[in-house]
A and B are shown apart, each in its own frame.
Chain A
């Protein structure tokens, strides 16, 4: 069939340090690597590319730190391209996935791939919207969040692309993917193959082609960055009157045992008192052979 399969890879420090107090993130350029989903995207690209006899192009946007994972892709037989950009623009782009998608698609210099593969969400930011924006920029179909992607043979030597993705409540959806398409994959089902030693040696000294990222104006302006706050949990609406709820919360009119002051006692006595307390409240039972949590 020939053609072009593109793997859009995000290389990032998978073990970035997050300061627990300030939320400041420290990234190590030398530990930039592919996440499990990015690695799965590359593996799918290599498999499908080889089945179609198509060129496989691995693209990553970032500084020289992305060259390590790109070299690994090169050693696996892919063509590679680094889309270079300066750090502040990169941060802007990462915040605005539409602008990022435009910069990546521009790097293809007008070539329309048959298939674009990428991770379902990036390890560090991850709204998961990039694949949709890439599909929009290319004007092709999209199949997001796939757990499997296989080529099925049709009569006459043709193949079709079958994909499966998770739905809510443990259900799965099987899809026939029309081409060209953008598929984003979960890090599941496939494992990135290892490059051979001769290929790794050849790739270790190779020059990675670089193009400058097109300066796509970003629609998003970062005004302030703060530590990520977890989303609030969904809580059921309260029932009962406010008085009843307050009483339930404080236990004001319920009978309760007043706190007992034990001690001062030495450590063994304190331990015994604690065990007594736990037995009394039903957390422990006193089995003949020893203590058991109930």
Chain B
């Protein structure tokens, strides 16, 4: 039997694509290698669900939420110092909310359930091992099950970062350590009331902390997210930088947990889970070709994760691109539209608009100065501002900045140039 659409991977991108295609009335098979959707998936912890407003109205009433993020902190750490910019919003704790912490096994299962309700057939514990191609067109997939070939008009690869299907078609390079980061994470168990007290939240309120300067100078950053009765604590670092440093990733998580600003949060917690996963961070300038005859590439498989310093948003981008892939497949099967309409659809949506606007962000944020010099420079500056030096009079801010820049080997013109570049990147 030939299906209209085969979607490989029941992550957020795959389930969204399957949902959209099934809603259009197509016959859809959603293949997942894990025993259930989300069983194999790793991420930090926050999903921004507004992308679902039109597709699943009132999604927030049923999404399997751990906590609604009402407090967002950005931290700069050095060996012994910490500077935090902390923001809280009551609005983020009410419908339609902003972001929520949720566990992937819950969230992915919920979203895949929506695709199944719409008519998609989910088959788990099944690995797509390759593509079936005829006359230059993808016409199906091979799987590891007996009698496992399956044919379809469109194959949507939503198999996540390092997509083997995209590599088979030559859409992705064989290896690409420069544009990949490695995320490692521990889930730490603590009673809910202890988390509430330590993070200053109540009920379903949660906290998202993004951290710079906690990775021993390896390009990257760290995070702490509050779940109901667990914390997600981890780091994301450049694969290239990590290999060169010869530091083991779990040492970086151990460092982070031992930092004087973080240790009180995690004290007494028990490690429940340790996981690691790659993240595509190439950004707009390194996106692969997103379609081939009979084939669409979506979510992390297409490198559509937005990693731009203070933002690490992959799930909403995976959902946004998955929905567009489902729409493009439906338009192709039902009306003969070209699959290239997928890219156009993405260009007109937040998915590629944000990527395009922030195209310079990955290089800037992962640059040596931002990673290795500025955290210490900023911390020194702030320490200088708040250290009372009596009986000596207070130093001026400019002289403090000069001193901090000099001590950290930063020239003021570099500072100005990076400030300008930052302004342009994030304008």
Contact = CB atoms under 8 A, between A and B. Distances in A.
Nearest to A202: B121
Interface size class of B (residues with CB under 8 A): 10 to 19
Contacts of B123: 197, 200-201, 204
Given A30-B105, A30-B109, A31-B35, A197 B121 contact: no
B36 A31 contact: yes
Contacts, number: 39
A283 B36 CA distance: 50
Interface in A1-48: 20, 28, 30-31, 33
A194 B121 CA distance: 18
A118 B145 CA distance: 26
For A20, A33, A68, A197, the residue with the greatest tally of chain B CB atoms inside 10 Å of its CB is A197
Contacts of B39: 31
Contacts of A196: 145-148
Contacts of A68: 36
B340 interface: no
A31 B38 CA distance: 11
B245 to A, nearest CB: 24
A54 interface: no
B190 to A, nearest CB: 13
A231 to B, nearest CB: 27
Given A30-B105, A201-B123, A204-B123, A195 B36 contact: no
Contacts of A204: 121-123
Interface in B291-329: none
A49 to B, nearest CB: 18
Contacts of B122: 204
Interface of A: 20, 28, 30-31, 33, 68, 194-198, 200-201, 204-205
B37 to A, nearest CB: 9
Given A31-B39, A204-B121, 8 more contacts: A30-B105, A33-B35, A196-B145, A197-B126, A197-B145, A197-B150, A198-B1, A204-B122
A137 to B, nearest CB: 33
A107 to B, nearest CB: 27
Interface in B90-105: 105
23 contacts: A28-B105, A30-B109, A31-B36, A31-B39, A195-B145, A196-B145, A196-B148, A197-B123, A197-B126, A197-B146, A197-B147, A197-B148, A197-B149, A197-B150, A198-B1, A200-B123, A200-B126, A200-B145, A201-B121, A201-B123, A204-B121, A204-B123, A205-B121
A117 B140 CA distance: 39
Interface in B128-161: 143, 145-150
For A194, A200, A205, the residue with the greatest tally of chain B CB atoms inside 10 Å of its CB is A200
A130 B146 CA distance: 34
A91 B313 CA distance: 43
Contacts of A195: 145-146
Interface string B26-52: 000100000110010000000000000
Interface string B47-81: 00000000000000000000000000000000000
> Nearest 8 CB-CB pairs, A to B?
A196-B147, A197-B145, A196-B146, A197-B148, A30-B36, A204-B121, A200-B123, A204-B123
Contacts of A30: 36, 105, 109
Nearest to A203: B123
B315 to A, nearest CB: 19
B143 A197 contact: yes
For B109, B123, B150, the residue with the greatest tally of chain A CB atoms inside 10 Å of its CB is B123
Contacts of B35: 31, 33
A194 B145 contact: yes
Given A30-B36, A194-B145, A196-B146, A201 B105 contact: no
Given A30-B105, A30-B109, A31-B36, A201 B29 contact: yes
Contacts of B121: 201, 204-205
A103 B122 CA distance: 32
A53 B126 CA distance: 29
A200 B121 CA distance: 10
A68 B34 CA distance: 13
A33 B39 CA distance: 13
